[in-house]
Structure 1
Amino acid sequence: MMSKASFFFLNISFVLLLQYLSVLCVSQNFDFFYFVQEWPGSYCDTQKSCCYPTTGKPESDFGIHGLWPNYNDGSYPSNCDSSNPFKQTEIADLTSSLHKDWPTLACPSGNGIKFWSHEWEKHGTCSESVLQQHDYFEASLTLKKRSNLLQALNSAGIEANGGSYSLSSVREAIKEGIGYAPFIECNEDSSGNSQLYQVYLCVDASASNFIECPVFPRGNCSTQIQIPSF
């Protein structure tokens, strides 16, 4: 029969093991980030349409979708720490910048909190070993400024005016402007035309520097894509 002391020791060991596994899960490693930006004209120019945020129509510029930890094999972690929910107070000083550079276009109209909360809880909590909540959003805003996708496209004569461009020319323009090849994700307008929807850039695991992507998602664009106005 097990003594009280042995039983107590066994219980303590079990609790410590659970704590270790919990920390291990929260601090799991990842290899790089996808930094994803979306073109609002393509988000809105679909059968689903869009709703402008309660703060008003966003600028005619790419908006942040998210900063997503990924593995080199193409898989990714998600929802890593339910004990660390989104807290608006932690990003109070960033709110005006987030309204500008990370706006929500989902319906019904919102103030962005639901969008940012989803991104933090699904993706951001998987980067806690590198970025706490304020760091996560601040790093994303910094990467947005550094990439300046619209300038890269405009410098190559590619404008968001409803025109059609080759997929290769769009990729090359962004690579020329930023120094690294992007992945382009497309969606379809109400007439079934392929249009530039999101641009993926890869960032190192410290969320500091753009890098060549170890792996791309599966492509879904036509060879010619449109960029609708917004």
Structure 2
Amino acid sequence: MANWGSSLLMKLSLMLSLAVVAVANNGDFHLFYFVQQWLGSYCDQHGEKCCYPPTGKPSADFSIYGLWPYYNDGSFPYNCGSGNFNEALLKPMQDSLRREWPSFTCPQIGRKFWVHEWNKHGTCSKSILGEVAYFKAALALKNKVNLLRALTSAGIHPNNQLYPLRSIKQAIARGTGFHPWVVCNRNSQGTSQIWQVAMCVDRTGNKLINCPFVPKGQGDCETKIKFPSFY
């Protein structure tokens, strides 16, 4: 009887622990990470093949990669239920999305990229931003955060040269007023190169803020990284 009671107590304790974890993980998000990527680095990474969107080769610039909600411990929610994605709602901004938030995968997935981003990330912020507001916020942030201008103004150009990571971060901070985090990948020769740049945004999706933490699972760049030419 004592053993049965002890076993039951252990099971109840385990269930309570799991419930606490579930509550903690289902808390509301803390901020957004607005992420942009450089096409040259995406297409030049080992084993990757690129395809231009139907609109053709875009002009040389960073493009939107995502607007991702995060918890205050650096983890992030995803796939938060049915998103009920309605493409018709995005028609007024479709040209802007094609220009600023294109997909470069092969085969081309086009609008499916937006569907994916909304279902995986946007649904986790819909208590604050509905579908239209979510995509409008991303486009407005892209207009506000001009990474290429910040870098070139500091003499850092996409010319296949190596630049100190510190200088890249400082240039973006000066150009935007806020500190970024930078994600690198490696090209086919194994060289570390700038790939993604993210800025922190408050829960409204409108106001840039300084990042309180680095997201979990993000790899470090080398102290000097390549800024490859646009693909």
> TM (normalized to structure 1)?
0.85
Question: CA RMSD for the aligned pairs?
Answer: 1.4
Give distance in 2, aligned partners of 1:157 and 1:58: 23
Which whole-Å deviations, capped at 9, do the CAs of 1:10-44 have from their partners, x for residues lacking one? Answer: xxxxxxxxxxxxxx9xx951100000000011001
Distance 2:84 2:227 in 1: 36
Question: Whole-Å Cα distance in 2 between the matches of residues 195 and 31 of structure 1?
Answer: 29
Aligned to 2:203: 205
Q: In 2, are the aligned partners of 1:97 and 1:141 still within 8 Å (CA)?
A: yes
Q: TM-score, normalised by structure 2?
A: 0.85
Helix, strand or coil at the partner of 1:96: helix
Which 10-residue stretch deviates more, 215-224 or 112-121? 215-224
Task: Report the CA distance between 1:85 and its aligned residue.
Answer: 2.7
Q: Which residue of 2 aligns with 1:19?
A: none
Aligned to 1:118, the other structure's residue is in SS state: helix
Q: Does 1:157 align with 2:151?
A: no
Q: Write the letter of the residue equivalent to 1:78.
A: Y
Partner SS, residue 195 of structure 1: strand
Deviation at 1:49, TM superposition (A): 2.5
How far has the Cα of 1:109 moved from its partner? 2.2
Distance 1:195 1:214 in 2: 24
Worse-superposed segment, 213-222 or 175-184: 213-222
Q: Deviations over 1:90-136 (max 9, x none)?
A: 110111001110010011124x2111000000000111111000100
2:108 and 2:219 map into 1 onto residues whose CA distance is: 30
Partner of 2:20: none
The separation in 1 between residues aligned to 2:181 and 2:107, in whole angstroms, is 29
SS at match of 1:144: helix
Listed one character per residue, the Cα deviations across residues 168-190 of structure 1 (whole Å, up to 9, x for unaligned) are 00000000001111000000010
Please name the residue that 1:94 is paired with.
93
What percentage of aligned pairs have identical amino acids?
Answer: 51
Counterpart residue type for residue 184 of structure 2: C
Looking at structure 1, the residues matched to 49 and 155 of structure 2 have their Cα atoms a distance apart, in angstroms, of 27
- In the alignment, which residue of structure 1 is the partner of 2:34? 35
Indicate the residue corresponding to 1:54 in structure 2. Answer: 54
Q: Paired residue for 1:66?
A: 66
Report if aligned partners of 1:28, 1:126 keep a CA contact under 8 Å in 2: no
Q: Which amino acid is 1:43 matched to?
A: Y
Q: Which amino acid aligns with 1:44?
A: C
> What amino acid maps onto 2:192 in structure 1?
S
Report matched runs for 1:69-218 at 5 Å: 69-82=69-82, 84-110=83-109, 112-217=110-215, 218=218
Please give the secondary structure, in 2, of the residue aligned with 1:173: helix
SS at the partner of 2:135? Answer: helix
Alpha-carbon displacement from aligned partner over 1:140-194 (angstroms, at most 9, x marks no partner): 0000010110100011000011111000000000000011110000000100000
Paired amino acid for 2:205: A
SS in 2 for 1:92: helix
- Cα distance in 2 between the residues matched to 1:184 and 1:71: 19
In structure 2, runs of 5+ residues without a counterpart are 1-22
Once residues 129 and 29 of structure 1 are traced to their aligned partners in structure 2, the CA distance between those partners, rounded to angstroms, is 9
Aligned residue for 1:114, secondary structure, equals helix
Structure 1 range deviating more: 49-58 or 32-41:
49-58
Count of aligned pairs:
203
Q: Partner of 1:220 in structure 2?
A: 220
- Looking at structure 2, the residues matched to 130 and 28 of structure 1 have their Cα atoms a distance apart, in angstroms, of 14
Secondary structure at the aligned position of 2:34 is classed as strand
